[in-house]
Amino acid sequence: MSAEQAHLRAAEQVKASISEGIEALNSLQADRHTQTGHPEADIADIARFVCDFYSKYDYHTFEATQRR
């Protein structure tokens, strides 16, 4: 397989892993371990933000994309 095909396959696998992780996160958040559920919600929100960020941006090129 070409380098481009390998990159596309890797990107698909990462997206699938993120989706699976978010599903697991939703289940864990629903099973609260604190009285308010706020810590679970905060951690879940942070994880979702990070996953959403990296689905749109690259760590090494984020600053350059913001200058446009």
The pair of three-digit structure tokens given for residue 35, joined into one six-digit string: 């009285």
**Tally of domains in the chain:** 1
Domain residue limits at 16: 3-66
39 membership: H or E segment, kind and range = helix 38-56
Contact 28, 40 (CB under 8 A): yes
Specify the pLDDT at position 53. 84
Amino acid at residue number 22: I
Does pTM top 0.75 for this prediction? no
Report pLDDT digits (tens) over 41-55.
899 899 989 888 887
Task: Write out pLDDT tens, residues 4-30.
Answer: 999 999 989 988 988 888 888 888 888
